[in-house]
Amino acid sequence: MTTTEAKAYIELYGATSTPPELSSSEINQLITACIDENGEVPDDMLNQCVADVWLIKTGRVTDHHDVTVNGRTFQASQVKAHCEERERFFRRRLPVRVS
């Protein structure tokens, strides 16, 4: 897969434009780490990149807390739990490597 196609896949499945967002530069760094000797991103590395996106998002919301204002509660812990679940989902999709 070309880097352009890989970036589109990562942006879609990593919800990179949804808070907490990842910048284009951060996405490019993830892609660069996955490029093979042909200058492309192997399909089996795409889920690794997306899982890494969700791990980064989890880290960014870790210090957020649940708050109640005017009787309405915002549960930031649910955002963190969602990010963790998405990371686990994409990690489970990685190929099993036997050494």
Judge whether 42 lies within some domain: yes
Provide the pLDDT for residue 98: 67
Give the containing element (helix H, strand E) for 74.
strand 72-74
Higher pLDDT, 36 or 98: 36
Instruction: Give the integer Cα–Cα distance in Å for 31 and 29.
Output: 5
99 belongs to a structural domain: no
Does residue 39 fall inside a structural domain?
A: yes
Domain containing residue 7: 3-92
Structure confidence at residue 31 (pLDDT): 94
Is 97 inside any structural domain?
Answer: no
**Number of Cα atoms under 13 Å in the Cβ half of residue 32:** 6
Work out the average pLDDT over 63-67: 84
pLDDT at 51 over 80: yes
Over the chain, what is the mean pLDDT?
A: 91
Per-residue pLDDT band for 35 (boundaries 50, 70, 90) equals: very high
Residue 49 lies in a domain: yes
* 59 falls within a domain: yes
Angle of CA points 30, 34, 39, to nearest 5°:
115
Whether residue 50 contacts residue 8, with contact meaning beta carbons closer than 8 Å, is answered with no
Identify whether 98 is part of a domain.
no
